[in-house]
Amino acid sequence: MKILVAVKRVIDYNVKVRVKGDGSGVETSNVKMSMNPFDEIGVEEALRLKEAGTAEEVIAVSMGIERCQETIRTALAMGADRGILVKTEEELEPLAVAKLLKALVERESPGLVIAGKQAIDGDHSETGQMLAALLGWPQGTFASKLEFEGDSLKVTREVDGGMEIVKLNLPAVITTDLRLNEPRFASLPNIMKAKKKPMETVTPEELGVDVTPHVTVLEVVEPAKREAGIRVESVQELVEKLRSEAKVI
């Protein structure tokens, strides 16, 4: 069985995001970029399934500019077998990403597609669900545990009320939650080996997918700065402040 894993290049989670001076978006020039943390968990889970003998090949897929190759190389250094870059200068919306993944699924015929439950830049949490709908495949979103049972997959997923367990027939689409696993670090020898692993570059046009954006971002602004707190000398003063200024009582 092949496993297709979607990996996205995002601003590193340790970096403070800054809005561009003209308000057209966030600043990415000279900013550290890395793999989306939820996608990194997806790569780790695919590798564990391969090591357990459940899968034979792990394919890492990323979409965007040429430098997205770096994200794929990270997945290859972790242990993925090969990579595919869908190269485009367009700002990809979740539906466009889902359509591109669908085209790759139809070409590669994987038994399982794994993606992060969301990307930390847009926080859309849509792509996996859209892909499952386009393919007509069962989906297990926000997965915190995977267990194979013959030709089916049991997924423990986190919901508002606790845990839910669903059983899916393969092929299926999975989106990963934080508690699914702890991703491994790529060792130096594996980083060097990753440079020799195959990586294919295709375009949306070659896949027959129109990725023209349907949404126009008018302006990006930073959230209002939080006001400093104040100290009160007594409970009575606190109650008065809550009543007169905060108007919460």
pLDDT digits (tens, 9 = 90+) for 14-60: 888 888 888 878 888 888 999 999 999 999 999 999 999 999 999 99
- DSSP, collapsed to helix, strand or coil, labels residue 20 as coil
pLDDT (0 to 100) of residue 133: 97
- DSSP, collapsed to helix, strand or coil, labels residue 32 as coil
CA distances from 15 to 49, 149, 158, 242 (A): 32, 41, 28, 35
pLDDT tens track for 166-206: 999 999 999 999 999 999 998 889 999 999 999 999 999 99
- 54: domain CATH number is 3.40.50.620
Nearest to 154 by CA among 133, 174, 126, 183: 174
pLDDT (0 to 100) of residue 196: 92
244: pLDDT strictly greater than 90: no
Name the token pair of 31: 């900013």
DSSP string, 63-112: EESGGGHHHHHHHHHHT-SEEEEEE-SS---HHHHHHHHHHHHHHH--SE
pLDDT (0 to 100) of residue 20: 86
> How many Å apart are CA 63 and CA 42, to the nearest integer?
16
Nearest to 129 by CA among 156, 103, 102, 161: 102
pLDDT (0 to 100) of residue 30: 83
Inter-axis angle of helices 94-108 and 127-135, nearest 10: 50
First to last CA, the chain: 60
246: pLDDT strictly greater than 80: no
151: pLDDT strictly greater than 90: no
pLDDT (0 to 100) of residue 103: 97
pLDDT band at 220; cut points 50, 70, 90: confident
Average pLDDT along the chain: 92
CA distances from 244 to 226, 229, 234, 237, 241 (A): 19, 16, 15, 10, 5
Name the token pair of 247: 């108007």
132: pLDDT strictly greater than 90: yes
How much is the average pLDDT of 150-162? 88
Query: What total of structural domains would you count in the chain?
Result: 1
222: pLDDT strictly greater than 90: no
Domain limits at 188?
Answer: 2-246
* C-alpha atoms less than 13 angstroms from C-alpha of 113 in its C-beta half-sphere: 32
Query: pTM for the whole thing?
Result: 0.85
